[in-house]
Amino acid sequence: MGPQRSYTIRTKRKAIAKAEVVGERAASKQLEIPRRTLRDWMDAKERIIGFEGAQTSKTTKG
């Protein structure tokens, strides 16, 4: 297993948008993000999209 990575809210939003267009598998491959990670973001989509804090934040804080 590789090192743990963290992603900004901006990156998560872009990945979600891409996954909605090309599908989770293709998006994860193109963006080099683990499928499970992308799937988790898709499950938390409303919270990630609705987050109003800094776009460079790593979490939605709650």
| pLDDT (average), residues 1-30 | 93
pLDDT at 61 over 70: no
DSSP codes of every residue in the chain: --------HHHHHHHHHHHHHH-HHHHHHHHT--HHHHHHHHHTHHHHHH--S-TT-S----
pLDDT-based confidence at residue 1 (cuts at 50, 70, 90): low
Residue 2 has pLDDT above 80, yes or no: no
What tokens were used for 14? 């872009």
pLDDT-wise least confident of 2-6, 31-35, 57-61: 57-61
Nearest partner of 44 among 60, 58, 33, judged by Cα = 60
Greater confidence (39 vs 4) lies with 39
pLDDT band for 33, please (50, 70, 90 cuts). Answer: very high
